[in-house]
Structure 1
Amino acid sequence: MAAPTGGMPGLNSLGAAEAMSVAQALSLPAESYGNDPNVEMVWAMKAYQHAEVYFNLISSVEPRHLKLTRMDDVIYTAFRGDFPELRIDVLDPEDLKSPAAKEKWRPFCMKFENEVEDFNYGTLVRMDSSREYTEENTIFATRIQFYAIEIARNREGINDVVFQHRAGKPVQ
Structure 2
Amino acid sequence: MSSTLRLQTVALYWVLSTSPVWASETMTQDANAHRVRQAFTNWQQGKGTVFDLLAPNAIWTVTGSSPVSGVYNSKKDLLEQAVRPITARLATAISPTVQSIVAEEDVVVVLWSGEATALDRQPYKNTYLWHMTFEDGQITQVKAFLDTYVLNDLMHRVKPAQ
- With normalisation by structure 1, the TM-score equals 0.29
Bigger-Rg structure (1/2): 2
More helix by share: 1
| Structure with more relative contact order (C-alpha pairs < 8 Å, separation 6 or more) | 1
More strand by share: 2
